A = this chain, B = another copy of it.
Amino acid sequence: MPVNAKSMVKVFERPKSLTDVQFTYCPGCHHGLVTRIIAHTIDELGLQERTVVVAPVGCSVSMYEWFHFDGIQASHGRACAVATGIKRVNPHLIVFTYQGDGDLAAIGTAESIHAANRGENITVVFINNQIYGMTGGQMAPTTLIGQWATSCPTGRDPALAGYPIRFAEIVAQLDAPVYVTRQSLYDQKRIMATKRAIKKAFQYQVEDKGYSLVEILANCPTNWRMSPVETNRRLADEVVKSYPLGDLVDRV
């Protein structure tokens, strides 16, 4: 059923900044959503010709293939160091990292914190899905207390494995970051808010303001072993209790 171009106007289309390649994410995974939001943001800000994505190791490892701009794949946890190298050498580029919770908040703790502390003028998009997606569902530093994972098969026990790390709060303790926020995607309102947050973060980078962190509470239907719709419910009901949403720092 073809669309009548005369009487109809396109109100939602595939972002220009995306290639045609199909995402390799599982059905219903929020990674796809955020990827799309970033692409729309780059479209809107007209940054396609100077944006660089630093892809992590995680389910989004080959993210650079989906964007119509330059990209680089960073070793596990080191995306912020890689981004630092690129941005310092060529400050004209708009550089963002896109990292999972294992990548950013476990193995990459030092690189993530010190890039923030140096106030690198980059945008860090942090997908907190409380699990190691790519490797098949092991505990992340952000996994909730009691949550099942393949490496804590009786649920995360804080006495053995510690507590969910609130990374945005840690970064907010530092002096340099200009924008630190936590968002989610479990309903239309949150999707819009996430979109605004990501846009603000990029906007700040364009204006040379400095470092931004956008933490996004996301799902992993495969490893949570839930349907995508159920994951949204869990995010709204459970996850936000451990990870309060909202802006933590907005220094501009």
Contact = CB atoms under 8 A, between A and B. Distances in A.
A162 interface: yes
B107 A163 contact: no
Contacts of A108: 110
Nearest to A107: B110
Contacts of A114: 106, 109, 141, 162
A163 B175 contact: yes
A152 interface: no
A28 interface: no
B118 A161 contact: yes
Contacts of A159: 119
A113 B118 CA distance: 18
A170 B109 CA distance: 12
A163 B176 contact: yes
Nearest to A242: B175
A110 B81 CA distance: 14
A173 interface: yes
Interface in A62-88: none
Contacts of A166: 173
Given A170-B173, A173-B169, A162 B119 contact: yes
B163 A117 contact: yes
A100 to B, nearest CB: 15
A165 interface: yes
Interface in A86-130: 106-110, 113-114, 117-119
A174 interface: yes
B118 A162 contact: yes
What are the 6 A-B residue pairs with the smallest beta carbon separation, nearest first?
A118-B162, A109-B110, A163-B175, A117-B162, A110-B110, A169-B173
Interface of A: 106-110, 113-114, 117-119, 141, 158-166, 169-170, 173-176
